[in-house]
A and B are shown apart, each in its own frame.
Chain A
């Protein structure tokens, strides 16, 4: 939790990791990709404040103590949601697998929500694994990484018939939240690399599922905004938006926030730190303090007040995941009830 100016914020970090990119985990023959991947992440890390920078060595593999301290003790986070990314072609035991995240989830079950992942190219075996993970960990969400390389294939789409089988399985297994990475992508090479129409199709055909587009489609936030306005079950995941822009590019951050508030709205935006790309502490504190610069160019945009920030930082995600929020963190707690709350009182 975080408190500022008498306002209490329940914080759900909807997008974080417990990865291992140490050199002894690199797959022989794929070292350049394993190295390139973590260094690419480290480039993003450099967009945070100077005094939050880690060494590349620590960044490759951080400890349980680092994570617990950075996220919960210092980072104001109440509940953190693991979003696995396997990258098994490059990392021997995977980069940030369901199993690795489960180590911490099983140790601190009240602190974490464990999502799993799937890849439609894994066919029946993958479906078995998905069922097993839901049984074992009670997963309510999945992280999908459509640009993942696999045996010569370099990506897939949510609209593929094989992917639909998995989405159907999600519905059947009680998985409600589909976190799709549609951000900086490396593959495939053609126009699909920035295409979000597969999310559009899936969101239309699976109205009971929620599709949280991580990174809000950055670098193609415009395409994402048009998609999200058409689909009631599409959400904007703010991972990378806050971490990558709020400190390094405050004016662009304000405009991205403005665009998301304009097209998507504060009820459909969720905070995610993307830890360990960046620590949540400065992001939560900065976001609570944030406001549009006083400038005519932001006049088109809806304002973001305390209640909107409470929703984005935790209450929206708590709804998506059915998390219990203590009463004093609810909207309107301790304030005189508005007239429309008095449903049984005739005027």
Chain B
């Protein structure tokens, strides 16, 4: 393996940590990374693509900025050129990211503020969806849903879904210690108790459906638009 090849896999591994905030999945596995080239000297060129010309620019900005940050932070990288292609706002987005300007600066007069709130909104949905992923198998195995109200994270059997849920909770600043309640309001961190449980579980299920249906549409459109596999793209279950 040459140094450049090894470096490319490190860059791709870094890009694996960048998620589409709404779909809650890495941009690599979604197929959004069309190009990832690393020179022997450590100059990196990454090109991103999206399912449509009109994908929401706020999400696009977050992904391009996050991709730039993780690539530029790699020790062996000398320069990072990260840009979005084929998008109605790519000029503003790419210029803003390259200049390390925030979103509001890049879209002066058109955006009311930075995107932290947007991130939080969708992280909350990801926590709800993750709650469904963790709780559904337990209920399917015979657990009374009401019993979930008194369970802690430590009571839930270890699984990849539980780890993922804890990571999302941590990003929102919610407790993830073994004694933390399993069911919490993602906005406030308050435990869900008693009569609230069934509505909370229904919402968790609906959030998961929303994210997965949306992912399905995005993947279908990306495939129709480009017909090529992105760097690190993985098939979903369809």
Contacts and interface: CB of A to CB of B under 8 A. Distances in A.
Contacts of B75: none
B220 A32 contact: no
A32 B88 contact: yes
Given A32-B88, A222-B203, A245-B216, A256 B209 contact: yes
A226 B210 contact: no
Q: Interface centre among B51, B56, B107, B212, by most A CB within 10 Å? A: B56
Interface in A151-206: 154, 184-191, 193-194
Contact of A47 (B88, B209, B217): B217
B57 interface: yes
A154 B107 CA distance: 12
Contacts of B136: 297
A36 B209 contact: no
Contacts of A47: 217, 220-221, 224
A262 interface: yes
B125 A222 contact: yes
A3 B221 CA distance: 33
Contacts of B111: 188-190
Contacts, number: 122
Nearest to A263: B206
Interface stretch (B112-120, B159-167, B181-189): B112-120
A218 B206 contact: no
Given A193-B58, A219-B22, A222-B209, A186 B88 contact: yes
Interface stretch (A72-80, A247-255, A316-324, A327-335): A247-255
B41 interface: no
Nearest to A153: B110
Contacts of B205: 259, 300
Interface in B194-221: 202-203, 205-207, 209-210, 212-214, 216-217, 220-221
A190 B58 CA distance: 7
Nearest to B86: A36
Interface in B111-161: 111-113, 117-118, 121, 125, 136, 140
**Dominant secondary structure of chain A at its interface with chain B:** helix
Contacts of B58: 189-190, 193
B224 A46 contact: yes
B209 A255 contact: yes
Interface stretch (A37-45, A58-66, A112-120): A37-45
Contacts of B56: 185-186, 189, 193-194
Contact of A46 (B203, B210, B221, B238): B221
Nearest to B206: A222
Interface string B14-54: 00000000100000000000000000000000000001111
A66 to B, nearest CB: 21
A147 to B, nearest CB: 9
A109 B136 CA distance: 52
B209 A221 contact: yes
Interface residues of A, number: 47
B201 to A, nearest CB: 9
A296 B52 CA distance: 34
A244 interface: yes
A33 interface: yes
Nearest to B237: A251
A39 B53 CA distance: 8
A37 B54 contact: yes
B225 interface: yes
Interface of A: 32-33, 36-37, 39-40, 42-47, 154, 184-191, 193-194, 218-223, 225-226, 244-245, 248-249, 251-253, 255-256, 258-259, 262-263, 296-297, 300
Contacts of B113: 190
Contacts of A262: 202, 206
5 interchain residue pairs of minimum CB distance: A46-B224, A36-B53, A219-B214, A249-B216, A222-B210
A77 B36 CA distance: 49
Given A251-B238, A300-B205, 13 more contacts: A37-B53, A43-B52, A43-B224, A43-B225, A45-B224, A47-B224, A185-B56, A187-B57, A191-B121, A218-B214, A221-B210, A222-B125, A249-B217
B51 A43 contact: yes
Interface string B57-70: 11000000000000
B75 to A, nearest CB: 34
12 contacts: A40-B54, A46-B224, A184-B52, A189-B111, A190-B58, A193-B56, A219-B217, A222-B210, A226-B206, A249-B217, A252-B216, A262-B202
Contacts of B52: 39-40, 43, 184
B190 to A, nearest CB: 18
B118 to A, nearest CB: 6
A252 B213 contact: yes
A198 B51 CA distance: 27
